[in-house]
Amino acid sequence: MQQQNMNMPNMNMQNQQATMQQPPGVVSTKDALYLTDMMSWNLLSAKKAHFFAGQCQDPEIKSEAEKVAQMHQRHYQQILGHLGQHASQQQPLNNMQ
């Protein structure tokens, strides 16, 4: 048992990864799918919060639900902006020599 506990800190050190200073120049398929999922989650959450706000009778709850909808809309736009910046920095394949 004691020998197993001694190995635990070693395992934690092996699982840690170095932090990237800059994002990679290419978005992997896995990353692209994750970004698509994040955008879908934020868009759906914004729509649901906006719908819920429209159903609320209490002005305070309605206001908070609209804030939630705006937050998810902002996150969606931020992800879209990051993707747009990445796309504008890439050269089309047909221009490469």
Of the candidates 32, 49, 36, which has an alpha carbon nearest to the alpha carbon of residue 76? 36
Residue type, 44: L
Residues 6+ apart with CB under 8 A from 56: 62, 65
Computed over every residue of the chain, the mean pLDDT equals 81
Report the alpha-carbon distance of residue 43 to residue 35 in Å, rounded.
Answer: 12
Range of the domain at 69: 31-88
Number of domains in the chain: 1
Instruction: Flag whether 17 is in a domain.
Output: no
Q: 0.85 exceeded by the pTM?
A: no
Question: What span, in angstroms and rounded, lies between the C-alpha atoms of 92 and 97?
Answer: 11
Rg of the Cα atoms in the chain = 22
The answer to whether residue 96 sits within a structural domain is: no
4 within a domain of the structure (yes/no): no
pLDDT tens-digit map of 25-65: 787 889 889 999 999 999 999 999 999 999 999 999 999 99
Q: Cα 5 to chain center, whole Å?
A: 35
